[in-house]
Every structure is written in structure tokens, then in C-alpha cells.
Amino acid sequence: MNDGTLWQIQTRLGTHQADAETIKTGILAGRILPTDKASQDGIVWVNIQDLPQFRDACLVMHPEPGYFHPPIASPPPYQTAPPPGYDPYAQQSFHQQYPGGMMPVSAHKPIQVAGGAHSPVLAIVANLFCLTGLGQIYNKQTTKGLVLFGVTVASVILTAGLLTPFIWIAAIVDAALIANRLKRGEAIGEWQWF
């Protein structure tokens, strides 16, 4: 029976006001624990399980001493709505984290050199005359360069060299464009292309 008395309740979600029926519903739903505090005057606070009007609800939900039913995710009926823009997971969306849809492909620290201190010509020459992937290694994309070299060797073996010119040209163009970015002082990722 609800006599209209408002109680102040201290839960893990904060301090709220509720009538006796709402408190019983919260206990039965697992949103209010028997060890949560209740007060009528805001001065004297008592465990809810120690108040006679709530003891039955506490015993139904928590028959054994020390046993606590896990709280359910829905907010108690007396809780106000979250503020506008509240994100319960405290994460930014993909588009907030990566404007323009460009997600970094590496969790490693970005590669960056002092502006003007990197030579695109040297990156081209390394790939053109020395070894496919060497321009990427010069651009500090070591793993990418080694993979390109491995792919080139595999294409020679598996396709009798039919795909090798395409890989070689792509490696040269990539090395030149990435070297230009580094020369301008831009940060690049380990696996960033073109």
C-alpha cells in the first residue's frame, strides 16, 4: 500500500526520491539492493533491508545473507532521462574518430620525418634499380617493403613473372608518392598506400 511518503534512496546510480511501491519494484527488479540506503528526512540513513516495509521484498530477491542479485540494465522508473548527447559506451562513432572515413590501418605510431628531409628520387631509384620493396623500406615502411619483396618473388615463381611488372610499377609509384608525403612532413602509417 502506498501512503504517498517520498523516500530518498542512495544507490550506486546516485540519490533519488521514490515512493514505497516504486522502491519495492526496484528491489524486485534488482535495481535497488538491500544494502542501498533510504531516508525520509535526508539526515538518518538506514539499509533498505532493515526497514520493515521493504524487508519482504528484500527477502524475495535476496533470500540468503550476502547474496546480491545482479542489477538489470534498465534504469529505475524514478531516474531522469540522460542528457542529450549522452553516450553510455563513452566511445566516438567511426565517423567522429576518423573524419572522411580514413581509418588508420596500423596501431603503430605514425611514421613522420622532418619536412624536406626525405627524397622521393631516392625512393624511386631504390625500387627501380635495386630491389622491389627497397623504396618502401627507405620510407620507413619496413614490413610493407619486405611483403612487397616476398610477393614479387612469389609472382615470379607462381606466374612465371607475368604479374611482376605490375607489382614493380605499383611499388615504384607507391614509394614516390609516400616519399612526397614524408617530404611535406605528413605522418603516414606502416601500411599506408599511395
Domain residue ranges in the chain: 1-82, 110-183
pLDDT value, residue 83: 61
pLDDT in tens, the chain (194 residues): 556 788 898 888 788 888 888 888 888 888 888 889 999 888 888 988 888 888 888 776 655 555 444 444 555 555 555 666 655 555 555 445 545 444 444 445 678 777 777 889 999 999 888 889 999 999 999 999 999 999 999 999 999 989 999 999 999 999 999 999 888 888 888 888 88
Q: Report the SS3 class of residue 163.
A: coil
pLDDT value, residue 106: 45
pTM of the model: 0.45
Q: Strands, E, within the chain: which ranges? A: 6-11, 14-19, 37-39, 46-47
Q: Of 96, 102, 99, 94, which is closest to residue 193 (Cα–Cα)?
A: 102
Question: What cell was used for 69?
Answer: 542479485
pLDDT value, residue 5: 81
Please name the residues in contact with 194: beta carbons below 8 A apart, sequence gap of 6 or more. Answer: 173, 174, 177, 178
